[in-house]
Amino acid sequence: MKEKEKIDISEKLANLIRENSKNVKITVLAEFKDEKYELTDEEILKVIAEFKNEDKFSDIQILKGRTRYFFSDDSMSESYARTLARVEDKDLLKLIAETVRENSRIYPRPSDCRTFYKTPYNISEEIFKSVLEEMKEKEEYQDIKITEASNGVPYLYSDEFLEEEHAIALTEWIEVIRKEVP
């Protein structure tokens, strides 16, 4: 590939990634084929890998999942990009578990189950409940626990990062107490 072609391709790839990120969308490797760049996946990955050596592309980040995902950290946080990548991977067990673990570890707080019914997850309540049942049967998800506020709203937490009593208290605080305290 000639130097001018490489620069043009680099700019086009970066612009697509940036535009998608501005539109709250993660870029999937396969999208570059839709844009008719006439490059193989390996060539595209090579061009994007070289972005880290150029300041003008320093905002372009790569995430690995079932495929490679790209986003601009000027328009999207890494945390949100990871969530979108998990949604794209369509592995609901992993999506829910990793989201719950991240919330339990980083914030620390339990995850409102209703969150998974909304964007960007868009999981139906019926499917969500069946995924939770499946989780109970799998060893790698045994840290994911459920607690319920006094108003009946269920929350999930990881007992690797939150103790049960703390998760119960936080769930009650988030769902009931803070709404009652002026």
For 78-119, what is each residue's pLDDT tens digit?
999 999 999 999 999 999 999 999 999 999 999 999 999 999
pLDDT for 34 equals: 64
Which is more confident, 166 or 48? Answer: 166
pLDDT for 3 equals: 54
pLDDT for 179 equals: 87
Name the burial class of residue 91, with classes exposed (0-12), middle (13-18) and buried (19+) by CB atoms within 10 angstroms of its CB: middle
pLDDT exceeds 80 at position 35: no
Give percent of the chain with pLDDT exceeding 70: 94
pLDDT exceeds 60 at position 6: no
pLDDT for 142 equals: 98
pLDDT for 5 equals: 56
pLDDT exceeds 70 at position 36: no
Domain 91-180 - what CATH class? Answer: mainly alpha
Strand order in the sheet with 68-72: 27-28, 68-72, 60-64
Strands (E), the chain: 27-28, 60-64, 68-72, 111-112, 144-148, 154-158
pLDDT for 2 equals: 54
Q: Return the minimum-mean-pLDDT range out of 36-40, 49-53, 55-59, 161-165.
A: 36-40
Q: Are 10 and 47 in contact (CB under 8 A)?
A: yes
Tell me what the mean pLDDT of segment 14-27 comes to: 96
pLDDT for 129 equals: 97
Q: Which residue has the tokens 């969308």?
A: 25
Task: Kindly tell me the sign of the dihedral angle through the C-alpha atoms of 110, 103, 177, 153.
Answer: negative
Tell me what the mean pLDDT of segment 40-55 comes to: 89
pLDDT exceeds 90 at position 182: no
Nearest-angstrom CA–CA distance, 67 and 85: 9
Domain ranges for the chain: 3-84, 91-180
pLDDT for 72 equals: 97
Chain centre to alpha carbon of residue 146: 21
Can you name the CATH fold of 3-84?
A: Arc Repressor Mutant, subunit A (1.10.10)
pLDDT for 86 equals: 93
